[in-house]
Amino acid sequence: MQVFLDLSESKVGEAFVTGDAWTVPVSVRPGPVSLVAIQISDPPSGRGHPRAFKIRPAKPEQPVIDFSDDAIVRFSGKGHYDPHFHTRIQLTVKTGQGNAPAIATVQNDGTWATSATGWELGSRTLEAIQQIADNAGGWIDSLPFEFEVEKKLPPVSNVRHTDDYQPTFSGEGVDRATVSLFAGAEIATPVVVRNRQWSTQALESWGPTSKRKISIRQELDGSEGWLEYEISILPREPGIDVPPKDGLNPVFSGTCWPGSVVDISFSDSNHSFTATVVGETWTFCRPTPFTDGLPCTIEATQTVVGLTSEPGSLTFKVYRERLKPAIRTPLPEQETDSDLTVTGDFGMAGASMRLWDLQDGKPLGDPVVLGQDGPWSVRLTGLAIKTWFITAQQTLNDRASPDSEVRQFDVVVMPPEFVRPLPGGDLTRTAVLSGTGRRDGLVTVWRRGLDEPLLRDVQIGVDGTWEASVVLEVGDEILWATQTFEGRTSKPSLDVPCRVVPVAVTPESPTPEEFLGATVTVSGFGVPGDLITLKRGECVLGTAPVLDDASWSIPATLELPDGAVTLSVMASKGEYHSVPSEWECQVRLFLPQFIYPGPGLWVSPLVAVTGSGKPGIGTLLSWYSADVVLAGPVTVTDAGWTASPTEPLHSGAQWCRFRQISDTGAPMSDDAESGRFDVRVESPDNA
């Protein structure tokens, strides 16, 4: 037996016939359907009369129930969909309180959804029926599906908290419900939900917190909903105080959580450091100094309960402490010239030192860049004659130091100073006095014991120097001076004690080029009445007064050793002595000997003169002039020497001299003088 959809070739089932009865299981879609049967035999039967059936849809499945909105309960699920027959789900509240949900239509994707309102908390029984249209204005119902629905109070949702150390909790809940927070004990004030929102603050400060678990209860009409919630609160950025600007190793400080670990880093370094924490304060001083005036950024984080804060930062500049300069000179209320050098201490290398006029508030002079720490000086010129009040200030990298203490001093016409003579120095009878003073000033020089000045109104040059000639008597003198400028006269200078001594004398004869023998006469010119002393080293060779004609002469005998000898002459008047005049000369004390002719002998004009000496060369000279050579050069040997005049000697009494020289021509002896002899034509030499 075969079963077909009416008016269709679609077979929906078949089975063998047993006896007079048959049963055929068929598979058809829910809804109205018309079926016909055909018995397959030999021959087959025709189609039987159609028979109409109403096929129930499947019983609904357990729907999904949503209480997320406390005012609405939502149902959803899967159902049968047929494009030809409308299908719907009908929910009915069998027991308990609550409105029935609206009938839901099954959509073309096989889903359905509906909702109900006005449900109170509690349990109820619902029945679900799936219905399909019967194409005759009615519905074909599925078998009913009953299920229990309990509306419980849900836990709060969308919970959040602030990052404050005393956090505030908030979220969404059921209106009129009371929300309470617990961590063992109650940790916040219970709060009633209004407009689905609630918010409450912790009863006390928690500080940094890591994964603390709390329980949140929502309670309404005896029903409760619980939520476990985990909270972490990061430490706040540590506070960073602005460091002091003075000093390259400042102490940094700030606020932090007690017991935290504060880590410090700087933008000019790759190193990190750990600060010292005491209570709610951290401090740190970096051992490496910062660069003067260069911006740098400090970053600080704090770590508590394993949590590290966001970094706090601060950009800062520090500077070497600008030392307060100290003015050393001029001394307080000191009198000084218009040109002076201000000196002081506590300068800083590289700083610009500047002086200020406190009365006018203007700078004085040019600034000076210091090359080293410590002492400093600034030159001032042309200051007005008045009382001055000045300060010093130094600037390094556009950052100024405190002003120095005020220094008061007086610019006055200062006494001139002596360059010649210096205290205790010597002057000659005719001398040039000189010194320094204010440009264009006039110097007056005084001599102690006289009412009238020694010099009056000596002009000081543009270079600040003065000089003038004076004539003085030998003896002790005390000089002092004043200077006058623009009608103002200075105080007297310091006394300059000095001595007036004879001027140094220079011998006229012998000259330094002459060679000296055993006897010498030193002569020259000087001041009549002075005493001239001749010395060889410290040995006095003789003295002589200067005669009225200004001449003087001292005979002296020279002794061994000979060679280079230093002689000196000095002029004296009483206990006052001139500067010695020294010269070096050559002394030759060796004397050759004459053998023939002896004293009183008669000799011919071309007499052969003999004698002894040192081996070398000699010259026979006239007795009256060393420039008149009688014979030479004469060879001198160990056996002696012999020399005859190249020209006949004049008749009469004669003398001659013999001088020896070395192979190089340098004198090596004094002049030896023969005895007196007579030259006669009829002398025995001619016999």
What is the DSSP track for 145-163?
Answer: EEEEEEEPPPPPEEEEE--
Instruction: Judge whether 55 lies within some domain.
Output: no
pLDDT of residue 30 exceeding 70 = yes
Buried b (16+ CB within 10 A) or exposed e, 57-94: beebeebeeebeebeebbbebbbbbeeebebbbbbebe
**Secondary structure tally for the chain: helices H, strands E:** 0, 65
Which CATH number do you get for residue 432?
2.60.40.10
Which CATH number do you get for residue 118?
2.60.40
Q: Residues 278, 342: one domain?
A: no
Q: Residues 97, 144: one domain?
A: yes
Residue 113 burial (10 A CB sphere; 0-12, 13-18, 19+): middle
How far is residue 325 from each of residues 246, 247, 320, 394, measured CA to CA in Å? 16, 16, 14, 7
Per the prediction, the chain carries an average pLDDT of: 92
pLDDT grade for 686, boundaries at 50, 70 and 90 = low
pLDDT of residue 70 exceeding 80 = no
Q: What average pLDDT score do residues 385-406 get?
A: 94
pLDDT of residue 29 exceeding 70 = yes
Q: Residues 265, 282: one domain?
A: yes
Structure tokens at 358: 């406190």
Share of the chain above pLDDT 70, in %: 99
Q: What average pLDDT score do residues 248-254 get?
A: 96
pLDDT of residue 557: 86
DSSP 3-state assignment of 321? coil
Last residue of a domain, one of 443, 470, 501: 501
pLDDT of residue 130 exceeding 90 = yes
pLDDT of residue 685: 57
Q: Residues 146, 162: one domain?
A: no
pLDDT of residue 171 exceeding 60 = yes
How far is residue 72 from each of residues 75, 111, 174, 216, 620, measured CA to CA in Å? 10, 19, 12, 23, 163
Last residue of a domain, one of 441, 472, 501: 501
Q: How many domains does the chain have?
A: 8
Over residues 494-511, the pLDDT tens digits come to: 999 999 999 999 999 888
Q: Residues 572, 597: one domain?
A: no
pLDDT grade for 384, boundaries at 50, 70 and 90 = very high
Last residue of a domain, one of 116, 151, 186: 151
User: Under a CB-based contact definition with an 8 Å cutoff, are residues 189 and 180 in contact?
Assistant: no
Residue 453 burial (10 A CB sphere; 0-12, 13-18, 19+): middle
- 122-131, 285-294, 495-504, 582-591: the lowest-pLDDT one: 582-591
pLDDT of residue 365 exceeding 80 = yes
Say which residue, 174 or 263, is predicted with more confidence.
263
Residue 541 burial (10 A CB sphere; 0-12, 13-18, 19+): buried
Q: What domain range is 263 assigned to?
A: 239-318
Amino acid at 114: T
For the chain, how many residues are written?
A: 687
Over residues 427-450, the pLDDT tens digits come to: 999 999 999 999 899 999 999 988
Q: State how far the Cα of 231 lies from the Cα of 237, in Å rounded to an integer.
A: 19
pLDDT of residue 204 exceeding 60 = yes
Structure tokens at 92: 């009915």
Q: State how far the Cα of 54 lies from the Cα of 31, in Å rounded to an integer.
A: 6
At residue 402's C-alpha, the angle toward residues 396 and 403, to 5°, is 110
Q: State how far the Cα of 144 lies from the Cα of 90, in Å rounded to an integer.
A: 10
Residue 304 burial (10 A CB sphere; 0-12, 13-18, 19+): buried
Which residues partner with 496 through β-bridges? 479
Give the up-direction half-sphere exposure of residue 585: CA atoms within 13 A in the CB hemisphere. Answer: 24
DSSP 3-state assignment of 467? strand
Instruction: Judge whether 58 lies within some domain.
Output: no
pLDDT of residue 285 exceeding 50 = yes
Q: Residues 442, 426: one domain?
A: yes
Determine the straight-line distance between the first and last CA of the chain, rounded to whole angstroms: 214
Q: Write the CB contacts of 42 (distance below 8 Å, at least 6 apart in sequence).
A: none
Instruction: Judge whether 437 lies within some domain.
Output: yes
Residue recorded with tokens 């000697």: 649
Instruction: Judge whether 687 lies within some domain.
Output: no
Q: Residues 645, 673: one domain?
A: yes
Q: Residues 36, 96: one domain?
A: no
pLDDT of residue 408 exceeding 70 = yes
What φ, ψ does residue 676 adopt, rounded to 5°?
Answer: -75, 130
pLDDT grade for 663, boundaries at 50, 70 and 90 = low
Say which residue, 663 or 59, is predicted with more confidence.
59
Rg (CA), the chain: 70
Q: Residues 576, 601: one domain?
A: no
Q: State how far the Cα of 315 lies from the Cα of 311, in Å rounded to an integer.
A: 13
pLDDT of residue 687 exceeding 50 = no
Q: Residues 606, 548: one domain?
A: no
pLDDT of residue 389 exceeding 70 = yes
Over residues 321-360, the pLDDT tens digits come to: 899 999 999 999 999 999 999 999 999 999 999 999 999 9
pLDDT of residue 103 exceeding 90 = yes
Share of the chain above pLDDT 90, in %: 72
Q: Residues 430, 469: one domain?
A: yes
pLDDT of residue 118: 87
Instruction: Judge whether 685 lies within some domain.
Output: no
Q: Residues 229, 280: one domain?
A: no
pLDDT of residue 682 exceeding 90 = no
